[in-house]
Amino acid sequence: MRVISENPIGVFDSGIGGLTVVRALMERLPFEDIIYFGDTARVPYGVKSVSTISSFATQITEFLLQHQVKMLIIACNTIAAVASQVVQDLSSVPVLNVINAGAQTAAKITRNKQVGILGTPATINSNAYVRAIHEADNHIHVTTQACPLFVPLVEEGWLDHPVTRLTAQEYLKPVLAEKIDTLVLGCTHYPLLKPILSEIAGESIRLVDSAITVAHETADLLLANGMAQLSSREPNYLYFVTDVPLRFQSVGERFLGRSLENVKVVNW
């Protein structure tokens, strides 16, 4: 496939959570076209098996490659954790993922070498974040915590709710006991919980938002390879989903921080 700077960036996720990555990309790379794929009919992936997640990831990758994307971004931490190799092997274009971006940033900014990771059960069980952080620096002590209740709480819109606060306090208790100075938000949904999480964690702990770090990595990659869309223009955004669930528009706009238009349903 011929890679040209005019082609869109392909971004995919298990559902609409990956719109946090799209939002960060829109801010960092305002002239780039973006095609987003959210598997809203089959979300959540975070509680599914490795083989199921891998076969879904294969299907989505093939779909986006057919749409002539110039690169792929795995916006879903769960897919990145268990199926990033599957995606790489299929792809004729560069692939970035939120885990490598978040892990590298955490390894760079920790001072006391104590890092905490929050994620879905599939992400935490895969150990992918621990491996990625140890690749950068194997002296870092990593504490992980699966937070299965966060995704439904965020989708419910309970971003500043007593139930969410209590849940976060419970999840963070063992992680904070390790005296971490850096906390990775290892799931698409967690950036929306930043205010509550930073309040509980305290000012001394830095939160790593993988959506922002992968957007910066994307800009670096496109510029280094002469693939960036540099001229000032109105970008095209196209969203593919496998289902349009109730409250799709309002939840999606919360993630994106702007109106959600050009949504197409793919019938698989």
Residue type for 108, please? K
Q: Which of 80, 95, 172, 187 is catalytic?
A: 187
Nearest to 181 by CA among 220, 237, 241, 141: 141
From residue 206 to residue 245, what is the string marking binding to ligand DGL with x (rule CB under 6 A)? ----------------------------------------
Nearest to 256 by CA among 156, 188, 185, 210: 188
Residue nearest to ligand DGL (CB): 46
Q: Which of 26, 73, 76, 82 is catalytic?
A: 76
Based on the shown chain and the rule CB under 6 A, indicate whether residue 167 belongs to the binding site for ligand DGL: no
Helix 77-90 to helix 50-66 angle, to the nearest 10 degrees?
60
User: Which of positions 52-91 make contact with ligand DGL (CB under 6 A)?
Assistant: 76-78
Sorted by sequence, the CB contacts under 8 Å of residue 106 that are 6+ apart come out as 115, 117, 133, 140, 182, 184, 208
Q: Which element (helix H / strand E) includes 255?
A: helix 248-256
Contact 183, 197 (CB under 8 A): yes
- Tell me the C-alpha distance between 220 and 226, whole Å: 10
Based on the shown chain and the rule CB under 6 A, indicate whether residue 140 belongs to the binding site for ligand DGL: no
- Tell me the C-alpha distance between 96 and 215, whole Å: 10
User: Which of positions 174-203 make contact with ligand DGL (CB under 6 A)?
Assistant: 187-189
Q: Pick one of 151, 201, 222, 241: the residue that binds ligand DGL (CB under 6 A).
A: 151
Least gap, CB of 234 to ligand DGL (angstroms): 29
Least gap, CB of 190 to ligand DGL (angstroms): 8
From residue 15 to residue 54, what is the string marking binding to ligand DGL with x (rule CB under 6 A)? x-x-------------------------xxxx--------
Q: Three-state DSSP class for 224?
A: helix
Based on the shown chain and the rule CB under 6 A, indicate whether residue 144 belongs to the binding site for ligand DGL: no
Q: Which is nearer to ligand DGL, 147 or 228 (CB)?
A: 147
Nearest to 255 by CA among 159, 124, 128, 141: 159
Contact 38, 64 (CB under 8 A): no
Residue 147 bears catalytic tag = no
Q: Which residues are catalytic?
A: 76, 187
Residues lying near ligand DGL in the complex (CB under 6 A) are found at 13-15, 17, 43-46, 76-78, 120, 123, 151, 187-189
